[in-house]
Structure 1
Amino acid sequence: MKNLLIGLLALMIFSCTKNAEQSSTSAPNKDLAKVFDDYYEENLKLSPISATNQGDNRYNDLLPNDISQEFIEKSKAFYTSYLDKVNKFDRESLNDEDKIAYDIFKREMELQLEGYKFNGELIPFQQFWGLPLTIGQLGSGDGSQPFKTVKDYEDWLKRVSAFKVWGDTAVVNFRKGIAAGIVLPKSLVVKMIPQMYDLVVSDPTKSLFYGPINKLPKDFSDVDKTRLTEAYKKAIMTELVPTYKHLGDFLKNEYLPKARTSSGIDALPQGKELYTFQAKIWTTTDKTPDEIYETGLKEVARIRGEMEKVKEQVGFKGTLDEFFTYLKTDKKFYPYKQPNEVLDAFRGILTKIEPNLKKMFNKTPKAKFEVRQTEKFREASASAEYNSPSVDGSRPGIFYVPIPDATKFNLTSGMESLFLHEAIPGHHYQSALQQENTNLHKFQRFNWYGAYGEGWALYCESLGKELGLYTDPYQYMGALGDEIHRAIRLVVDVAIHTKGWSREKAIKYMMDNEPISEQGATAEIERYMAVPGQALSYKIGALKIRELREKYEKQLGSKFSLAAFHDEFLKDGCMPLSVLERKMDAWAAKQK
Structure 2
Amino acid sequence: MKKSLKLIVILLTIIYSCKEETKKVDVNVSEKFSQLIDNYYEDELKLNPINATTAGDHRYDDIFVNNLSDEFISKSKTHYTNYKKQLDSFPNESLTESEQLSKAVLTWECDINLAEFNFNANLTPIDQMWSSNLFMGQLASGSSAQPFNTVNDYKKWLKRVDGYLDWMASAEKRMKEGMQNGHVLPKALILKVIPQLKSLTNKDVDNHLFYQPIKTIPDDFANNDKLELKKAYRNMVSNKIIPAYEKLHTFMSTHYLEAGRKTSGIQGEPNGNAFYAHQIKKYTTTNMTAAEIHELGLSEVARIRSEMEKIKEQVGFKGDLKSFFNFVRSNKDLMPFKEPSEVIANFNSIHERMKPQIEKLFDVKPKTPFEVKRTEEFRENSASAEYNPGSLDGTRPGIFYTPIPDVTKYNVYSDESLFLHEAIPGHHYQISLTQESDVLPKFRKTLWYSGYGEGWALYSESLGTELGLYTDPYQLFGMLGAEMHRAVRLVVDTGLHSKGWTREQAITYSLDNEAESEAGITSEIERYMANPGQALSYKIGQLKIQELRKKAKETMGNKFDIKEFHNQILETGCVPLALLEDKINTWISQK
What are the superposed Cα offsets for residues 559-587 of structure 1, whole Å, 9 maximum, x if unpaired? Answer: 00000000111012000000000011111
Q: State how far apart, in whole Å, the 1-side matches of 2:154 and 2:117 are.
A: 35
Q: State how far apart, in whole Å, the 1-side matches of 2:245 and 2:221 are.
A: 30
3-state SS of 1:378 partner: coil
Q: State how far apart, in whole Å, the 2-side matches of 1:207 and 1:340 are.
A: 23
Cross-structure match for 1:308: 309
Q: State how far apart, in whole Å, the 1-side matches of 2:447 and 2:118 are.
A: 23
Cross-structure match for 1:378: 379
Identical aligned pairs, as a percentage? 50
Shift of 1:405: 2.3
Cross-structure match for 2:507: 507
Shift of 1:590: 1.6
Shift of 1:331: 1.6
1:232 is the counterpart of 2:233 = yes
Shift of 1:93: 2.4
3-state SS of 2:117 partner: helix
Shift of 1:330: 2.1
Please list, as runs of the form range in 1=range in 2, the aligned pairs for 1:11-26 lying within 5 A after superposition.
Answer: none
Q: State how far apart, in whole Å, the 2-side matches of 1:589 and 1:242 are.
A: 63
**Of 123-132 and 503-512, the range deviating more from structure 2:** 123-132
3-state SS of 2:379 partner: helix
Q: State how far apart, in whole Å, the 1-side matches of 2:121 and 2:312 are.
A: 45
Please list, as runs of the form range in 1=range in 2, the aligned pairs for 1:335-414 lying within 5 A after superposition.
Answer: 335-412=336-413, 414=414
Q: State how far apart, in whole Å, the 1-side matches of 2:172 and 2:385 are.
A: 30
What are the superposed Cα offsets for residues 477-506 of structure 1, whole Å, 9 maximum, x if unpaired? Answer: 111110000000000000100101000000
Cross-structure match for 1:204: 205
Cross-structure match for 2:4: none
The runs of 4+ residues in structure 1 deviating greater than 2 Å are: none
Cross-structure match for 1:419: 419
3-state SS of 2:372 partner: strand
Q: State how far apart, in whole Å, the 2-side matches of 1:378 and 1:183 are.
A: 22
Shift of 1:392: 2.4
Q: State how far apart, in whole Å, the 1-side matches of 2:360 and 2:342 are.
A: 29
Shift of 1:237: 0.9
**Of 163-172 and 371-380, the range deviating more from structure 2:** 371-380
3-state SS of 1:148 partner: coil
The aligned amino acid for 1:481 is: G
Indicate conservation of the 8 Å contact 2:393/2:436, yes or no.
no
Q: Which runs of 5+ in 2 are unaligned?
A: 1-14
Q: State how far apart, in whole Å, the 1-side matches of 2:407 and 2:183 are.
A: 40
Cross-structure match for 1:129: 130
Shift of 1:62: 0.3
What are the superposed Cα offsets for residues 276-305 of structure 1, whole Å, 9 maximum, x if unpaired? Answer: 110000000001111111110000000000
Cross-structure match for 2:428: 428
3-state SS of 2:319 partner: coil
Indicate conservation of the 8 Å contact 2:390/2:432, yes or no.
yes
Tell me the TM-score normalized by structure 1.
0.95
Cross-structure match for 2:8: none
Shift of 1:449: 0.4
1:77 is the counterpart of 2:108 = no
Cross-structure match for 1:110: 111
Shift of 1:275: 0.4
1:526 is the counterpart of 2:498 = no
Q: State how far apart, in whole Å, the 2-side matches of 1:124 and 1:411 are.
A: 34
Cross-structure match for 1:148: 149
Cross-structure match for 1:575: 575
Shift of 1:65: 1.0
What are the superposed Cα offsets for residues 126-171 of structure 1, whole Å, 9 maximum, x if unpaired? Answer: 1111121111111111111000000000000001111221111111
Shift of 1:333: 1.2
Cross-structure match for 2:41: 40
Cross-structure match for 1:242: 243
Indicate conservation of the 8 Å contact 2:301/2:487, yes or no.
yes
Q: State how far apart, in whole Å, the 2-side matches of 1:111 and 1:543 are.
A: 23
3-state SS of 1:198 partner: helix
Q: State how far apart, in whole Å, the 1-side matches of 2:456 and 2:171 are.
A: 35
What are the superposed Cα offsets for residues 159-216 of structure 1, whole Å, 9 maximum, x if unpaired? Answer: 1111221111111111111111111111001111111111012221120111100001
What are the superposed Cα offsets for residues 3-58 of structure 1, whole Å, 9 maximum, x if unpaired? Answer: xxxxxxxxxxxx9xxx9xx99xx768111111110010011111111100001000
Cross-structure match for 2:453: 453
What are the superposed Cα offsets for residues 517-554 of structure 1, whole Å, 9 maximum, x if unpaired? Answer: 22111111111010000000000000000000001100
The aligned amino acid for 2:417 is: S
Tell me the TM-score normalized by structure 2.
0.95
3-state SS of 1:370 partner: strand
Q: State how far apart, in whole Å, the 1-side matches of 2:348 and 2:492 are.
A: 33
1:465 is the counterpart of 2:472 = no
Shift of 1:406: 2.0
Cross-structure match for 2:9: none
| Root mean square deviation, CA, Å | 1.4
Cross-structure match for 1:160: 161
Q: State how far apart, in whole Å, the 1-side matches of 2:245 and 2:291 are.
A: 40
3-state SS of 1:400 partner: strand
Q: State how far apart, in whole Å, the 2-side matches of 1:520 and 1:406 are.
A: 14
The aligned amino acid for 2:317 is: F
Shift of 1:377: 1.9
What are the superposed Cα offsets for residues 300-330 of structure 1, whole Å, 9 maximum, x if unpaired? Answer: 0000000000000111111111111111112
Indicate conservation of the 8 Å contact 2:427/2:457, yes or no.
yes
What are the superposed Cα offsets for residues 65-99 of structure 1, whole Å, 9 maximum, x if unpaired? Answer: 11011111111111111111111110132111011
Q: State how far apart, in whole Å, the 1-side matches of 2:412 and 2:229 are.
A: 45
What are the superposed Cα offsets for residues 236-262 of structure 1, whole Å, 9 maximum, x if unpaired? Answer: 011111111111111111111111100
Q: State how far apart, in whole Å, the 2-side matches of 1:434 and 1:215 are.
A: 32
Indicate conservation of the 8 Å contact 2:368/2:395, yes or no.
no
Indicate conservation of the 8 Å contact 2:120/2:183, yes or no.
no
Q: State how far apart, in whole Å, the 1-side matches of 2:572 and 2:516 are.
A: 36
The aligned amino acid for 1:536 is: L
Cross-structure match for 1:477: 477
Q: State how far apart, in whole Å, the 2-side matches of 1:359 and 1:93 are.
A: 39
The aligned amino acid for 2:579 is: V
Q: State how far apart, in whole Å, the 1-side matches of 2:288 and 2:118 are.
A: 21
Shift of 1:438: 2.5
What are the superposed Cα offsets for residues 375-434 of structure 1, whole Å, 9 maximum, x if unpaired? Answer: 22222221111111112222111111111222211121x110000000000000000000
Q: State how far apart, in whole Å, the 2-side matches of 1:251 and 1:376 are.
A: 22
Q: State how far apart, in whole Å, the 1-side matches of 2:377 and 2:122 are.
A: 29
The aligned amino acid for 1:588 is: I
The aligned amino acid for 1:535 is: A
Indicate conservation of the 8 Å contact 2:286/2:577, yes or no.
yes
Q: State how far apart, in whole Å, the 1-side matches of 2:354 and 2:476 are.
A: 15
What are the superposed Cα offsets for residues 415-467 of structure 1, whole Å, 9 maximum, x if unpaired? Answer: 10000000000000000000000311111011110000000000000111111
Cross-structure match for 2:185: 184
Q: State how far apart, in whole Å, the 2-side matches of 1:212 and 1:330 are.
A: 40
The aligned amino acid for 1:115 is: E
Q: State how far apart, in whole Å, the 2-side matches of 1:515 and 1:171 are.
A: 38
Q: State how far apart, in whole Å, the 2-side matches of 1:392 and 1:540 are.
A: 31
Q: State how far apart, in whole Å, the 2-side matches of 1:588 and 1:475 are.
A: 34
Cross-structure match for 1:566: 566
Shift of 1:110: 1.1
1:63 is the counterpart of 2:57 = no
3-state SS of 2:355 partner: helix
Cross-structure match for 1:555: 555
3-state SS of 1:199 partner: helix
Cross-structure match for 1:7: none
Cross-structure match for 1:4: none
3-state SS of 1:104 partner: helix
